[in-house]
Amino acid sequence: MYRLNNLQFLLFWGLVGPIVALNIWLVTQVFRYFEGLITILVTAAILAFLLNYPVRLFQRVRLARSSAVIVVLAITVAILGVLIVTLVPIIADQTAQLFTKIPGWLEASAQNLRSLDSWAKQRNLPIDLLSFSDRINYQIESQLETVAKQALGLALITVNWVVTSLLVLVLSFYLLMYGGRLWSGLLNLLPSRYGPAFRDALELNFHNFIISQILLAVFMAVTLLLVFILLKVPFALLFAVLIGVAEVIPLVGPTLGIGLVCLLLFLQSPWLAFQVAIAATVLQQIRDNVLAPKLMGDFTGLNPIWIFIALLVGLQIGGFLGIVVAVPIAGTIKGSLDIVRRNPAPLSDRNAG
């Protein structure tokens, strides 16, 4: 009997595994074919989800939903307009200056490493810093050349971004107005036993994850901007925004953002890079151990390994957007299964089946 059970188990997963892999591949191909459309739809859905909270607040003061939606969208457009007029030009200017500064930083860093390499050779230390420096410089210069070539199409990219943003705002308006009926209709397609469980798990995970990640990212960006200004870090706003955006990615995002900024600063001043690394690490610990548990809690209940796998799958399927929504989707799947297991189908339903 034990061998029979093992054989059934192996046969089950031997059949299910290829089917799951095939479905993932099909989803990847479909997403790539409709990538632009899906990106707009998902972005608009996330924006409508976030804006639905202030819409509800306006509704509580006896404002009709249509009027509340118009007011909230008008405020959102005004805030985005102020940010575009004030922050975007500064970030763009600092980005252009950074690209012009990096070659000089590379040369200064190479000279420092040559001095350190000479010091190590005089003491017969088995360290070859020059070859390491050459490899790093080559990689950075290659990336800079690629970015410079891509920058030629900046005007076209800007126009495309403006058009996409307008589409997202218009679609968000209609989702706020009629999304409730659409959402109810989609849930009604699921069996009555699974619909409420899926709805509750999806709302909980996206609410906790999206809002919490945005608040935590804003905290890191604002506090690091103040620290960078105190430390007189060059391109303070650009680096703070870069780390803030990276904070949206769970697990690996904060390390990547802080590591990239520290690497760029190390080319100019190792001591400044060390100070920034210490300050960012302290703030990151406050974020992870004080703020994050209060805002997010253990909302997914996922093992960190599964979170990492979800991020890789999201990256493969949807790029950056896939990374952003991978964890709440994985948490939704787990939460739905947990709710269904805690509330098994009634005996009458099983007999009817």
Tokens 């990276």, residue? Answer: 246
**158 or 71, greater pLDDT:** 71
CA distance readout (Å), 288 to 221, 234, 250, 257, 291: 15, 27, 11, 15, 6
Highest mean pLDDT among 32-41, 74-83, 120-129: 74-83
For residue 228, pLDDT over 50 is answered with yes
Maximum pairwise Cα distance, the chain: 85
In the chain, where are the structural domains located? 38-119+126-189, 192-341
Query: For residue 294, what pLDDT band results from cuts at 50, 70 and 90?
Result: low
**What per-residue confidence (pLDDT) applies to 350?**
46
The overall average pLDDT reported for the chain is: 75
| The overall pTM is greater than 0.85 | no
- In 3D space, the residue among 182, 220, 204 whose CA is nearest the CA of residue 335 turns out to be 204
2: pLDDT confidence band, cut at 50, 70 and 90?
very low
Q: Residue 226: is its pLDDT beyond 90?
A: yes
The mean-pLDDT minimum among 110-119, 178-187, 233-242, 296-305 falls in 296-305
Residue 82 has pLDDT above 80, yes or no: yes
Q: Which of 87-96, 101-110, 228-237, 259-268 has the highest mean pLDDT?
A: 228-237
pLDDT above 50 for 348: no
- pLDDT range class, residue 6, cuts 50, 70, 90: low
From the list 329, 293, 304, the residue with the least C-alpha distance to 210 is: 329
Give the dihedral sign, CA 298/299/301/304. Answer: negative
CA dihedral 167, 168, 171, 172 (to 10 degrees): -150
Mean of pLDDT values over 326-347: 69
Statement: residue 151 has pLDDT above 70: no
Task: State the amino acid at position 152 in one-letter form.
Answer: L
Tell me the pLDDT tens digit for each residue of 37-72. Answer: 877 888 888 888 888 888 888 888 888 888 888 998
Fill in the DSSP letter of residue 247: T
